[in-house]
Amino acid sequence: MGELGIAKDVRDRLQNHAAMDVSAKHYDRYDYMAEKRAAAERWCDFLEVTISTGNVVPMRKSGEVGFG
């Protein structure tokens, strides 16, 4: 997400990381929904392009054994 220009504080909020400083923890009551939505949309666009170009490593299905 950093490569996409998404600021660390927005990434942390989007990933629900705990705010550690006093100001963010106790005084900042803004929900940052607009910023989180914009970041999620940018991430989604990135994933869609990545998937559509075939630049994806397939994962095993649940219960599958070995490295097929």
Tens-digit pLDDT profile for residues 45-67: 999 999 899 878 877 777 766 65
Instruction: Please state, for a pLDDT cut of 70, what percent of the chain lies above it.
Output: 93
Q: Say what the pLDDT of residue 48 is.
A: 93
Q: Tell me the pLDDT band of 37, cut-offs 50, 70 and 90.
A: very high
Phi/psi for 13 (5° steps) reads -65, -40
Plot region of 18 (φ>0 → left; ψ -120 to 50 → alpha; else → beta): beta
Q: Does position 36 have pLDDT exceeding 90, yes or no?
A: yes
Burial 36-68 (b: 16+ CB within 10 A, else e): beebeeeeeeeeeeeeeeeeeeeeeeeeeeeee
Contact 14, 52 (CB under 8 A): no
